[in-house]
Homo-oligomer: A and B are copies of this chain.
Amino acid sequence: MINYNEDVLIVLSLSKNQMVLNITVVKTGFLAVTTLIEALLDERASRKDISIRSVSSGAKMNKVDIDAVEQLAKSIDTDLFIVVSPNASLDGPKNLALNLGKLKPTILISDNPATKIIEELKGKIGYIIIQADPLIGIRKEFLDPIEMSNFNSDVLKVLSITGAFRALVHEIDLVVSAINNSQPIVLPRIIVDKHKALSHSGLSNPYAKSKALASYEMAKLVGRLSAEGGYKEKDRQKYLLVVSASHELIRQAAILADEAREIEKTHDNVFRQIHDSEGNYATKNKLLDSF
């Protein structure tokens, strides 16, 4: 049983002998962050401080799907749940996260629409909302598997370079470290906006930062256009152009993010921050430098 303090979410970690933290990632539906979250936490499969299992209901987010993954998740020996879902303001993913949060420390990762429910989450579970992980342009005449995967390719580039992914990893690593070091657990309550992302980007050139910031805002705009084109606009010609425009926009956001990284390369100044086998960070900037 976990006690929550209302204002500062502190979970007293149970003293453990085990060195390895068991993380269970529970996924329903797809965001870009859904695709690589385990690898972001253990990029070279070399961390000895964590063990990850994931379960997913695939693209579907119906009650039956979510119930199934909840049961699967509960069957796994877990120290920390990470729930990843688009639009966590829907009952399905919200309750999934809250239910798991009753058992173990739980972090919900979602996109912009989840902002609506953060008050409901406080004191119960942590959350990380990534503003620039946008809704896809979900129209039947438009969104085939290739349009979908190509879109995700572009979003991954934006989230990688603008700092959003590193912000996410940082927050989770803080929790992992706290648990493994028997310190109080402060679950994250974070909205990754443009400045938050940028502060983790490791970018140093101010124009690289400006490009990354613009790329991040473009990705947010993608979400608004996808919502307009996918749900609100009723004129068929218009909604097809709007969802297609949203995908042109994410392609351009990815190109701009890439420009930012290329600038850092010209200075041999790409910030790299790996997890060593104990889960600690080692950082460097020059490609041929040692840690």
Residues on A facing B (Cβ under 8 Å): 25, 27, 29-30, 35-36, 38-46, 51-61, 65, 68-69, 72, 75-76, 138, 140-150, 152-154, 156-157, 159-161, 165-166, 169, 194-195, 198, 202, 205-207, 209-211, 213-214, 217-218, 221, 225, 237-238, 240-242, 244-249, 251-252, 254-256, 258, 261, 263, 265-268, 270, 272-275, 284, 286-291
Q: Is the CB of B238 within 8 A of A248?
A: no
A to B CB contacts below 8 Å, 29 in the list? A30-B38, A41-B59, A42-B59, A43-B143, A46-B140, A51-B65, A52-B59, A52-B60, A53-B72, A55-B72, A144-B274, A145-B274, A145-B275, A146-B161, A146-B272, A150-B157, A150-B261, A153-B160, A205-B266, A207-B248, A210-B244, A210-B247, A210-B248, A210-B287, A213-B242, A213-B245, A214-B252, A251-B258, A266-B267
Query: In the complex, how many angstroms separate the beta carbon of A67 from the nearest chain B beta carbon?
Result: 12
- Inter-chain contact B30/A287, CB cutoff 8 Å: no
Pair B217/A245 contact, Cβ less than 8 Å: yes
- Specify which of A52, A207, A247, A254 lies most central, judged by the most chain B CB atoms within 10 Å of its CB: A207
Nearest B residue to A45 via CB reads B59
Contact A287 B244 (CB under 8 A): yes
Main secondary structure on chain A at its contact with chain B? helix
Minimum C-beta distance from A58 to chain B (A): 3
Closest to A206 in B: B287
Task: Find A254's partner among B138, B143, B153, B248 (CB 8 Å cutoff).
Answer: B153
* Least CB separation from A75: chain B residue: B75
Q: With A and B bound together, what is the CA distance between A289 and B142 in angstroms?
A: 10
Minimum CB distance partner of A151 in chain B: B160
